[in-house]
Amino acid sequence: MSNEALEFSKDTVVFDTVFTTVGSSTRLFKIYNRSSRPVQVSNIYLEGGASSPFRFNLDGVSDIQFSDIEIPGNDSLFGFVEVTLGENNQLNPLVIEDKIRFSTNGVEQEVLLVAWGQDAYFHYKDLNEGVWPNDKPHVIYDYAAVDSAKSLIIQEGTKIHLHKNSLLYVYKGELTINGDVNNKVVFEGDRLEPFYEDVKGQYYGIYFEKALPSTINHTIIKNATAGVHVFSEDENNPDYTVMITNTEIFNCSSYGIFNYSGGYIKGENLNVHNNNQYAYFSLEGADHDFRHCQFLGYGTDGDQPAVAIKNYFTRSDGITYIGAINEGNFYNSIIDGSGNNQLVYDTISSTNPINYNYTNNLIKNEDNQSGETGFTNNLWNLNPNFENIQESIFKIKLNSSLINAGAPSFATTNDIEENPRGPQPDIGAYEVN
């Protein structure tokens, strides 16, 4: 037997913020015998014992203590650790520690376990109305719903974390998200490890079905499947379905915004980018009015366009449904991306109207439609001169052709960062001052 001590792949196993009462993901570390001869580990144990919030598994066996474990020469064992933290009844995260101790040939060694526990409000298939408090994060499992004729207000600074395939679902109700430029509302997944910072499709998104007029302001929606999904219209709602302003939607596995079968979306100062398929997808007839928005097809699968608009869809019953596009407006906006055609229409003639108006936009498309009805004073196929596409910094530079190229009659008062727009506004979500 060897008289040497052990080596470890890491001396500290760290769990970034873990929501209390919810089990963590599993962390791995390796225990090495660097000697050519076997080594006998007389004792391996979790210092906190049975009362520890941490769970330890050694090479596939879970326990709090192991005795007389032999590691062959130049071999290793796997250590797996998980943690479930109880509520700490505090607004701020609480640090929890424990140790796994090893006794080998009279040498005492340890691996430190550290976790930050964060209390949260949990929603599991529940109905919601009133005002969500913003002192702790909200975690959604499966769905949190705003039902018919009900209203939910989400205050500035609220952090919403959604589990896999989960959604915030508004059915014939009203959702008001009141973010602030300096205190945004954030929607993201519930996996908080650094690895998941930019993993797409961690949850579904925000789903509006026949909703009453709803608003989303100063919000970040990231890593969803479809960031905002709008389906159909409420026959009792004569106005828009959703008004989205000063909001960034990015890194979705399908669409940034999906507008389906009769929805009506108004958007101002939007930055929608780095989604796998489309930044904006309109299907089976839906209305939109976008001003100073950026729909960017960088990071899409293949050469998918930034904006795709279809007035029809063949449903599972085999019937092709054709909807109306009563309003299809883009003003002072950017439609750009890595492929050559970033605006794609696919329409079927019918008695339903197809109305669109593109005025003072930058559009990247091989087919320059400047002479066609509905296209007025647009810039075609110019480099927008963003600050850094690779780093997703989509502010325009001072030498951009988009400076002062917008139409004042369609301008928003301020830009996405609440900077005032000049009398001759810039195209896009950001005003260069």
Examine the domain organization and report whether 148 and 113 are in the same domain: no
Please indicate, yes or no, if residue 91 is contained in any of the structural domains.
Answer: yes
Please indicate, yes or no, if residue 253 is contained in any of the structural domains.
Answer: yes
Please indicate, yes or no, if residue 360 is contained in any of the structural domains.
Answer: yes
Examine the domain organization and report whether 182 and 165 are in the same domain: yes
Total tally of structural domains belonging to the chain? 2
Examine the domain organization and report whether 75 and 139 are in the same domain: no
Please tell me the predicted confidence (pLDDT) of residue 303.
Answer: 77
pLDDT, tens digit only, all 433 positions of the chain: 677 899 999 999 999 889 998 889 899 999 999 999 999 999 999 999 999 999 999 999 999 999 999 999 999 999 999 999 988 887 778 899 999 999 999 999 999 999 999 999 999 999 999 999 999 999 999 999 999 999 999 999 999 999 999 999 999 999 999 999 999 999 999 988 888 999 999 999 999 999 999 999 999 999 999 999 999 988 888 889 999 999 999 999 999 999 999 999 999 999 999 999 999 999 999 999 999 999 999 977 777 999 999 999 999 999 999 999 999 999 999 999 999 999 999 999 878 899 999 999 999 999 877 767 899 999 999 999 999 999 999 999 999 999 999 999 999 999 999 999 999 999 999 999 7
How many whole angstroms separate alpha carbon 362 and alpha carbon 382? 7
From 98, 117, 136, give the residue that closes a domain.
Answer: 117
Examine the domain organization and report whether 102 and 149 are in the same domain: no
Predicted TM-score of the model (pTM): 0.89
How many whole angstroms separate alpha carbon 372 and alpha carbon 270? 26
Distance of CA 417 to the CA centre of its chain: 20
Task: From 196, 198, 185, select the one nearest 228 (Cα to Cα).
Answer: 185
Examine the domain organization and report whether 347 and 376 are in the same domain: yes
Please indicate, yes or no, if residue 416 is contained in any of the structural domains.
Answer: no
What CATH number did the domain enclosing 107 receive? 2.60.40.10
Examine the domain organization and report whether 406 and 257 are in the same domain: yes
- Helix, strand or coil, per DSSP, at residue 194: helix
From 61, 91, 117, give the residue that closes a domain.
Answer: 117
Please tell me the predicted confidence (pLDDT) of residue 234.
Answer: 86
Please indicate, yes or no, if residue 419 is contained in any of the structural domains.
Answer: no
Examine the domain organization and report whether 104 and 138 are in the same domain: no
Examine the domain organization and report whether 200 and 140 are in the same domain: yes
Please indicate, yes or no, if residue 426 is contained in any of the structural domains.
Answer: no
Residues whose CB is less than 8 angstroms from the CB of residue 297 and which lie 6 or more positions away in sequence, other chains included: 278, 279, 304, 305, 306, 336, 337, 338, 339, 342
How many whole angstroms separate alpha carbon 160 and alpha carbon 145? 14
Please tell me the predicted confidence (pLDDT) of residue 171.
Answer: 98
Please tell me the predicted confidence (pLDDT) of residue 268.
Answer: 99
Please tell me the predicted confidence (pLDDT) of residue 55.
Answer: 98
Please indicate, yes or no, if residue 311 is contained in any of the structural domains.
Answer: yes
* DSSP conformational letter for 50: G
Please tell me the predicted confidence (pLDDT) of residue 4.
Answer: 87
Structural domain span for residue 83? 7-117
- Helix, strand or coil, per DSSP, at residue 242: strand
Please tell me the predicted confidence (pLDDT) of residue 301.
Answer: 76
Examine the domain organization and report whether 108 and 161 are in the same domain: no
Number of other residues whose CB lies within 10 A of the CB of residue 185: 24
Please indicate, yes or no, if residue 357 is contained in any of the structural domains.
Answer: yes
